[in-house]
Amino acid sequence: GQNIDQPTEMTATEGAIVQINCTYQTSGFNGLFWYQQHAGEAPTFLSYNVLDGLEEKGRFSSFLSRSKGYSYLLLKELQMKDSASYLCAVRDRLGYIPTFGRGTSLIVHP
Amino acid sequence: DAGVIQSPRHEVTEMGQEVTLRCKPISGHDYLFWYRQTMMRGLELLIYFNNNVPIDDSGMPEDRFSAKMPNASFSTLKIQPSEPRDSAVYFCASRGGTSGSRGPETQYFGPGTRLLVL
């Protein structure tokens, strides 16, 4: 089975930087995804990591350490529209389908 | 592309009634997924199909739930009889498989059906 942990809620200030952590325990590893989900909407894909290191996409970056079972999503220059839930999803060696964590609700305030 | 289409967007029904949720995946995608999302349990995979064939239904909570995919462009999730604990948002998602099922292809989610069983 899989165990994926994320903080339940975080708050940050507009213009700041925030780091959302995700730790996982799986029987194997075959990729980690980050999704963004605004209230009342569907999850949308943000990033994918399968090798160690940092993947950067504009204001968003995602980091992976397979040996530590750890990933983080880094959001820079926060905007009010970044208020959303951020879901970490891990795909293990056996399964082809990622398992989702419970998500981190990020609140950005002025 | 219109994206993944789900209907209805909202459903309110009474306990014991049959509920049918519908999904049209993105054209050309050969994987289709049904998820359920609640505050308590987060996003849970119920079942997924590959080329219209059910591959893993281990997430289906019980026999009251059933899913079909009669063709590449349509799938249904049925709950009969419905119970209040089935109240949740049900998402359908699809993805392509050009790199095989281990590829980085992401899942594209539909807008969801918000189900309330009274």
- Does residue A53 contact residue A39 with C-beta atoms inside 8 Å? no
CB contact under 8 Å between A96 and B102, yes or no, is yes
Give B104's pLDDT tier (boundaries 50, 70, 90). Answer: low
Q: Which residues 6+ apart lie within 8 Å of B113 measured at CB?
A: B6, B7, B8, B9, B10, B11, B21, B89, B90
Q: How far is B74 from chain A (nearest CA, A)?
A: 19
> Residue A26 pLDDT > 90, yes or no?
no
Q: Is A25 on the interface with B (CB under 8 A)?
A: no
- Does residue B11 contact residue B113 with C-beta atoms inside 8 Å? yes
Torsion angle defined by CA atoms of residues A23, A34, A74 and B89, in that order, rounded to the nearest 10 degrees: -100
Contacts of B92 in chain A (CB under 8 A): none
Q: Is B49 on the interface with A (CB under 8 A)?
A: no
> Residue A68 pLDDT > 90, yes or no?
yes
Rounded to an integer, what distance in angstroms lies between the CA atom of residue A81 and that of residue A13? Answer: 12
pLDDT of residue B102: 53
Classify burial at A55, counting beta carbons within 10 Å of its beta carbon; exposed 0-12, middle 13-18, buried 19 or more: middle
Mean pLDDT of B70-98: 93
Q: Which residues 6+ apart lie within 8 Å of A56 measured at CB?
A: none
Mean pLDDT of B29-43: 93
Rounded to an integer, what distance in angstroms lies between the CA atom of residue B13 and that of residue B27? Answer: 31
- Does residue B10 contact residue B30 with C-beta atoms inside 8 Å? no
Q: Is A105 on the interface with B (CB under 8 A)?
A: no
DSSP string covering A24-77: EE-SS---EEEEEE-TTS--EEEEEE-SSEEEEETTEEEEEETTTTEEEEEE-S
When CB atoms are compared, the residue of A42, A50, A87 closest to B111 is: A42
CB contact under 8 Å between B109 and A42, yes or no, is yes
Q: Is B106 on the interface with A (CB under 8 A)?
A: yes
> Residue B103 pLDDT > 60, yes or no?
no
**Residue of A32, A45, A91, A93 best to disrupt the B interface, most CBs of B under 10 A:** A45
B116: helix, coil or strand?
strand
When CB atoms are compared, the residue of A30, A33, A99 closest to B102 is: A30
pLDDT of residue A94: 64
pLDDT of residue A92: 82
pLDDT of residue B96: 82
pLDDT of residue B106: 80
Task: Report chain A's mean pLDDT, rounded to a whole number.
Answer: 93
Q: Is A69 on the interface with B (CB under 8 A)?
A: no
Q: Is B58 on the interface with A (CB under 8 A)?
A: no
pLDDT of residue B108: 92
B38-79 residue pLDDT tens: 988 899 999 999 999 999 999 998 899 999 999 999 999 999
pLDDT of residue A2: 73
